[in-house]
């Protein structure tokens, strides 16, 4: 229980600061501990829900959320979140590790280079070109919903780049807005998992305790910590775990 509280604390802090959701840390931890795919995704998503709620409350007070964007993204992601919960029921642990390893690899690469995206971002307003790209944004949001419930990561790893690259939002605005979308999507996904009887509530609550505190810490110190170093450390860790999961799958096949 103490280990999971610490994991939740770390995940909530980093997830809030970067806006990608703490599930990227909690899901690998639960996988290494030997949980089944449905327990991993549902237990992690349970904690992600409370972490995103904690972060969202903090960002609401700071007035850094674009509500119309977050709500629209969540509305499209909700059907995906329900779908992802059902898909997780049919995954073997080896297959789960392989696909999650691929996701972690992409996440690690994105986090490593998202700082350069932030520097290049000019924060343009919505123009005709971006209106043409809106279908891509909503398709990506739906996919984020599936990923959210299937792997228990929340979907922020997709929400943030979609908001930055397609909608032209700054990273400092996209991260808080992503937390609102995460909050809505993850609660729907968690409810679906609960109906299906997937969560391990004891471990989920242990993770959530740390994640809630971490969400508050991350929101408060997000302006003070050197973001580039944080991103490098997190990306290296994610890529290392990804290589381990993928190599295990390849080695058995």
Give the residue from 80, 95, 98 showing the smallest Cα distance to 186: 80
Q: Indicate the pTM of the whole model.
A: 0.80
- For the segment 111-144, what is each residue's pLDDT rounded down to a tens digit? 777 665 555 454 444 444 466 778 899 999 999 9
Cβ neighbours of 119 (radius 10 Å): 7
Angle of helix 171-195 relative to helix 93-120, nearest 10 degrees, comes to 160
Nearest C-alpha neighbor of 113 from the set 241, 201, 231: 231
Contact present, 166 and 130 (Cβ < 8 Å): yes
Instruction: Show Cβ contacts of residue 161 under 8 Å, excluding neighbours closer than 6 positions.
Output: 110, 114, 117
pLDDT digits (tens, 9 = 90+) for 189-219: 999 999 999 988 999 999 999 988 887 887 7
**150 and 84 in contact (C-beta within 8 Å)?**
yes
Q: Where does residue 75 rank: exposed (0-12), middle (13-18), buried (19+ CB within 10 A)?
A: middle
Per-residue confidence at 78, pLDDT binned at 50, 70, 90? very high
Residues of the chain with pLDDT > 90, as a percent, come to 32
Of 102, 7, 93, 106, nearest to 47 by C-alpha is 7
Mean confidence (pLDDT) of the chain: 84
Q: Give the Cβ contact number of residue 47 at 10 Å.
A: 36
CA distance 18 to 21: 8
């Amino acid at each position: 229980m103490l280990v999971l509280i610490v994991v939740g604390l770390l995940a909530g802090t980093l997830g809030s600061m970067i806006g990608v959701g703490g599930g990227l840390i909690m899901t690998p931890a639960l996988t290494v501990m030997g949980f089944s795919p449905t327990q991993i995704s549902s237990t992690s998503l349970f904690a992600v829900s409370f972490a995103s709620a904690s972060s969202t409350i903090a960002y609401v007070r700071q007035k850094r959320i674009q509500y119309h964007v977050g709500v629209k993204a969540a509305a499209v992601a909700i059907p995906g979140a329900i779908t992802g919960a059902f898909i997780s029921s049919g995954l073997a642990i080896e297959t789960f590790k392989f696909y999650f390893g691929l996701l972690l690899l992409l996440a690690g690469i994105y986090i490593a280079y998202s700082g350069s995206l932030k520097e290049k971002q000019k924060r343009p307003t919505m123009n005709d070109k971006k209106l043409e790209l809106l279908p891509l944004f909503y398709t990506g949001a739906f996919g984020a919903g599936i990923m959210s419930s299937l792997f228990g990561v929340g979907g922020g790893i997709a929400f943030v780049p979609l908001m930055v690259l397609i909608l032209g939002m700054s990273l400092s605005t996209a991260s808080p807005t992503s937390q609102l979308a995460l909050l809505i999507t993850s609660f729907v996904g968690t409810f679906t998992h609960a109906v299906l009887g997937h969560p391990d509530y004891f471990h989920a609550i242990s993770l959530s305790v740390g994640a809630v505190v971490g969400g508050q810490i991350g929101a408060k110190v997000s302006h003070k910590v050197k973001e580039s170093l944080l991103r490098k450390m997190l990306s290296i860790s994610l890529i290392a775990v990804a290589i381990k999961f993928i190599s295990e799958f390849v080695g058995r096949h």
